Amino acid sequence: MGVCVCVCVCVCVCVCVCVLMCVCVNGCVCVCVCACVRACVRVFTRHQVLRISAKDELQLSALRDLEALDHLQLDIWIGVRDVSTPVDIRVPAFSLSTVKSHLDYYEIQYSIMIRDLQVHDSIYNFQDMLVSENPNLVSKIVIGRSYEGRPINVLKFSTGGTSRPAIWLDTGIHSREWVTQASGTWFAKNIVDTYGKDQVLTAILDKMDIFLEIVTNPDGFAYTHSKNRMWRKTRKPNPGSSCVGVDPNRNWDAGFGGAGASSSPCSETYRGPSANSESEVKAIVDFVKSHGNMKAFVSIHAYSQMLLFPYGFTKSPARDHGELNELAKKAITNLASLYGTRYRYGSIINTIYQASGGTIDWTYDQGIKYSYTFELRDTGRYGFILPANQILPTAKETWLALMTIMDHSSRNSY
């Protein structure tokens, strides 16, 4: 009997580790058994940040190959430059074993810089990094705490001055609308990258400040990662009920108690026991009031592909309905110019439904004329679980609409 050579091919999804067993039987027939064994269970739900040190050109080249694989959805914090500079990459849970296999194959050294990075932690880290790398443009303000004690962070983009007229943007008030927090993160990076290069943005920032709250509902956001992807509300318990949470977009003091919100704690549109009962909402209310010079306020949601303005609680048209309508039309035309994405626009109550206690009804009645709500992609095919490959296009096209609104506010002081 000669020597048997077994060549077995085993294909597993990256969550498994393949165990290969080759047995040589009479007449050199190989029997291969491939068993997929689950390893590193916690890998499922945790992302890691790897610090990678390439020692030569071959390894650098291997790293560049890895970066190019879009489907791994790697987030390069410090990119591939040369052999003396480590590369920091945030690796989502589902790509971890693929990436580590690749690194092991090329015998590339790496260490786990952050072993157990929650997605919302990574946004906090990103915010801090943006501030530390751009101290002359970006600062972070903690405007309050969530019910579970998480900091509520706002990034301030400013080129100076005192109490300049300002634009407010928020994303993630409804935690399941993940494309919005992701877009907010991109907006922050984009402001930093294009200030000084984009004429329109530079002109805006030379006159006005931009405030950006990316994770407006941090408790809800954490919950969508740990327990329930479809969670919308805050995570505050309701006394006398087994149901948790208040709809933060029904909790504002505008038409509060009227039709267009629920009085039941178990409902997704529960208004809460009273206006501003939620600390996540109160923090913004207090901030806006004490700032006193907000000129535009944009609250970003998903999905439906709409650009909406007040009112939601009443059919009576807003005093500035005409101007808001025209500006909305311009904004969505610019949005569509990038990828052809079609948006509808109009007042909340006409376009989508009656809603009371909503954010922009309150901000408008505070005198912030350019108050808008976006509903981003898509129109229902993926809904809340929009695939990663649509995030960047969504953020980019939305930015064009935001720029239209911000530019108009900047040129039309009141």
213 is catalytic: no
Q: Rule CB under 8 A: which of 85-104 touch other proteins? A: 92-95, 97-98, 101-102, 104
Within 13 Å and on the Cβ side, how many CA atoms surround 54? 22
Please name the amino acid found at residue 176. R
| CB of 379 vs other proteins, minimal distance in Å | 7
For residues 374 and 371, give the distance between their C-alpha atoms in angstroms, rounded to a whole number: 10
Nearer residue to other proteins within complex by CB, 244 or 285: 244
* Residue from 193, 230, 322, 392 in contact with other proteins (CB under 8 A): 230
For residues 182 and 151, give the distance between their C-alpha atoms in angstroms, rounded to a whole number: 18
Please name the amino acid found at residue 115. R
* Residue from 125, 190, 262, 277 in contact with other proteins (CB under 8 A): 262
* Residue from 139, 190, 379, 396 in contact with other proteins (CB under 8 A): 379
Q: Which two tokens stand for residue 315?
A: 């059919």
Q: Which of 46, 343, 299, 306 is nearest to 181 (CA)?
A: 299
Q: Rule CB under 8 A: which of 59-88 touch other proteins? A: 69, 71-73
| CB of 41 vs other proteins, minimal distance in Å | 5
* Interaxial angle between packed helices 178-194 and 391-411, expressed in degrees from 0 to 180 and rounded to the nearest 10: 60
Nearer residue to other proteins within complex by CB, 249 or 410: 249
| CB of 178 vs other proteins, minimal distance in Å | 8
| CB of 11 vs other proteins, minimal distance in Å | 5
Q: Rule CB under 8 A: which of 304-323 touch other proteins? A: 304, 313-316
Question: Which residues lie below 8 Å from residue 33, measured CB to CB, with a gap of 6+?
Answer: 20, 21, 23
From the list 177, 278, 280, 375, the catalytic residue is 375
Q: Rule CB under 8 A: which of 336-375 touch other proteins? A: 342, 344, 346, 349-354, 356
Alpha helices (H) along 68-160: 96-105, 119-133
165 binds other proteins (CB under 8 A): no
257 binds other proteins (CB under 8 A): yes
* Residue from 86, 151, 258, 317 in contact with other proteins (CB under 8 A): 258
Q: Rule CB under 8 A: which of 125-154 touch other proteins? A: none
Distance, CA of 186 to chain centre: 8
Cβ pair 59, 52 in contact under 8 A: no
| CB of 187 vs other proteins, minimal distance in Å | 20
For residues 237 and 62, give the distance between their C-alpha atoms in angstroms, rounded to a whole number: 50
| CB of 163 vs other proteins, minimal distance in Å | 34
For residues 34 and 22, give the distance between their C-alpha atoms in angstroms, rounded to a whole number: 9
Q: Which two tokens stand for residue 296?
A: 């535009």
H or E element at residue 134: none
Q: Rule CB under 8 A: which of 385-404 touch other proteins? A: 385-388, 390
Q: Rule CB under 8 A: which of 2-21 touch other proteins? A: 7, 9-15, 18, 20
For residues 346 and 310, give the distance between their C-alpha atoms in angstroms, rounded to a whole number: 9
Q: How far is CA 117 from CA 12, 23, 109, 326, in A?
A: 25, 42, 20, 44
| CB of 98 vs other proteins, minimal distance in Å | 4
Binding part of the chain for other proteins, among 25-33, 197-205, 241-249, 322-330 by CB under 8 A, reads: 241-249
DSSP state letters, 390-401: GHHHHHHHHHHH
Cβ pair 30, 6 in contact under 8 A: yes
With tokens 């405030």, the residue in question is: 211
Query: Applying CB under 8 A, what is the total number of residues that bind other proteins?
Result: 78
37 binds other proteins (CB under 8 A): no
For residues 86 and 96, give the distance between their C-alpha atoms in angstroms, rounded to a whole number: 18
Binding part of the chain for other proteins, among 148-156, 195-203, 276-284, 381-389 by CB under 8 A, reads: 381-389
Nearer residue to other proteins within complex by CB, 18 or 129: 18
Q: Tell me which residues are annotated as active site.
A: 375
